[in-house]
């Protein structure tokens, strides 16, 4: 039973990023970056982590990871060893 005033809005998968995507032109990367910054304010999508972040987004097939977003590291998520 939903609390008063709450509603559920089902959404489909988000757009998968490609090699040229960044957090300014892809909603999936925007969400990932926002959630990562909520957990670690210093997070930046950069050349050092881009491959792992893109792999994670593709592994999740555009479905936001919910409560797991921003936890662990992109490499651990992509490898399937996330907390």
42 class by beta-carbon count within 10 Å (0-12 exposed, 13-18 middle, 19+ buried): exposed
70 confidence band (pLDDT: 50, 70, 90): very low
Residue 30, token pair as written in the block: 């925007």
Q: What is the pLDDT of residues 25-51, one digit of tens each?
A: 888 888 889 989 999 999 999 989 988
pLDDT of res. 64? 67
Secondary structure, 3-state, the chain? CCCCCCCCCCCCCCCCCCCCCCCCCCHHHHHHHHHHHHHCCCCCCCCCCHHHHHHHHHHCCCCCCHHHCCCCCHHHHHHCCCC
Predicted TM-score of the model (pTM): 0.63
Q: What is the pLDDT of residues 50-65, one digit of tens each?
A: 889 988 888 888 776 5
């Amino acid at each position: 039973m939903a609390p008063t005033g709450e509603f559920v809005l089902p959404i489909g998968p988000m757009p998968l990023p490609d090699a040229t995507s960044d957090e300014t032109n892809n909603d999936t990367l925007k969400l990932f970056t926002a959630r990562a910054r909520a957990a670690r304010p210093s997070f930046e999508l950069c050349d050092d982590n881009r491959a792992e972040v893109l792999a994670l987004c593709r592994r999740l097939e555009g479905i936001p990871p919910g409560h797991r977003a921003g936890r662990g590291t992109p490499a651990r998520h992509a490898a399937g060893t996330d907390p």
